[in-house]
Amino acid sequence: MEAIHEPLLTTMMLIFCLTAITASVGMYLRQPLTIVYMVLGCVIGPFGLGWIGEMSAIEQLGHIGIVFLLFTVGLDMPTKRIKSVFKQSILTMLASSGTFFAVGMGLGVLFGFDSRETLITALAMVFSSTVVGIKLLPRTPLHHEHIGEVMLGILILQDVIAVIALVCLGAFEVQTSLNTWLVIFGAPPLIIVVSLLVAKFIFWPLQKKFDVVNEYVFLLFIGWCMGIAYLAHSVEISFEIGAFIAGVALANTGASVSQSIAEIFEPLQDFFLVLFFFYVGTTVNPALLFEVAWQVCVLGLVIVVVKPVVFRYLLGWQGEDRRFSWEAGFRLGQNSEFALLILYVAASQMSEQAALIVLGATVLSLLISSYLVVFNFKNPIALKAELRVH
């Protein structure tokens, strides 16, 4: 089938129709849907069947999904909550992150990566997946309240590291002078202060006055997210970091409703994230992937073996029992979707081969980890009736 050069609308129809079909298959196979989107992108993209030709518009729409994702991450970070999880999880998070970073550095050297590729590989190793970690937890709070609390604390602190990493990687995208670095790290605190003041004295009064008009409230939230993101971009900070700041500002001036905002945004965020992960899949060259298969397998297997073991012993040292520590370790024993975001931001700083190794290993770790969780621990989509807990 020749590449489709129809308008964007036709391309979107094709993507979402096929995504719905393949996602249904993915659900039966108990797989994270992010993998389904990437596999579909690889199959029908330029390196596959070639049904989708021009990808620039899809990439830009997918980028909006990342902006909304960082906004909702910010909404989940009121200062009081960060202080609480900081006390509970900081030692485990720092020790595990340091271990995974060191392992990633070692593997990068083993694979012959240059210094920057090795650093990015090590960064990608640090984070665990929220999709596998949290969304595969049973919804019944009495059953998994404590393990959810511990895992969420670790994931939130990992998100903070991820945001800092994105700031640094964005700075490396261009030739940066000392003045530019000062702007990059000095501007966010200033934008945060401005955002907090505007949110408290303008945004929330408007929201409270007209909250009965849902359309207006929805538009107000989108405008706030995009406005702060654009403000950040205007001072050489990425749109994503600006959106994160916008979320943090709302969380710390109206924390009681920040979760409801996140729920409102989730469907819109998911719509654009489908396009982002689909786009990531279209960048995968299957021929090149075959050439680096052994590196992908080594890195992927190291991730799913090392992470559960490290978390098991760190949580045990923290005072958790053996069974609890192993379960939390396996639930956190994979690379994160944030690794894909890091690869996206750092695309120009890595060779295609190095990026593909990290991407392939991330997908492999998500595949293996999701099966380990689904077949061995209580979760909403377990095949065994005794493990299926909603």
Cβ count near 315 (within 10 Å) = 26
- Report d(CA 5, CA 173) in Å as an integer: 31
Closest to 160 (Cα-Cα) out of 254, 93, 233: 93
Question: How many structural domains are present in the chain?
Answer: 1
Handedness of CA 282, 5, 33, 250 (dihedral sign): positive
Q: What is the DSSP string of 213-273?
A: -HHHHHHHHHHHHHHHHHHHHHTT--HHHHHHHHHHHHHTTSHHHHHHHHHHHHHHHHHHH
Residue 248 lies in a domain: yes
Residue 348 β-bridge partners: none
Closest to 30 (Cα-Cα) out of 386, 300, 374, 363: 374
In the block, tokens 């490396």 appear at 172
* Burial (Cβ within 10 Å: 0-12, 13-18, ≥19) of residue 58: buried
CB within 8 A of 269, min separation 6: which ones?
Answer: 65, 68, 69, 71, 72
**pLDDT confidence of residue 167:** 73
Contact 379, 136 (CB under 8 A): yes
| Amino acid type, 328 | A
Given a cut of 70, the residues of the chain with pLDDT beneath it are 1-6, 53-54, 79, 81-82, 85-86, 139-145, 170-186, 236, 254-260, 262, 381-383, 385, 387-390
In the block, tokens 């600006």 appear at 242
Residue 231 lies in a domain: yes
- Report d(CA 124, CA 302) in Å as an integer: 13
Residue 204 lies in a domain: yes
Cβ count near 283 (within 10 Å) = 21
Residue 388 lies in a domain: no
Residue 8 lies in a domain: no
**pLDDT confidence of residue 150:** 82
- Provide the residue range defining the domain that includes 109: 59-276+298-376
Residue 244 lies in a domain: yes
CATH, residue 71: 1.20.1530.20
**pLDDT confidence of residue 143:** 46
**pLDDT confidence of residue 171:** 61
Residue 151 lies in a domain: yes
Residue 10 lies in a domain: no
Q: What is the DSSP string of 296-353?
A: HHHHHHHHHHHHHHHHHHHHHHTT--HHHHHHHHHHT-S--HHHHHHHHHTGGGS-HH
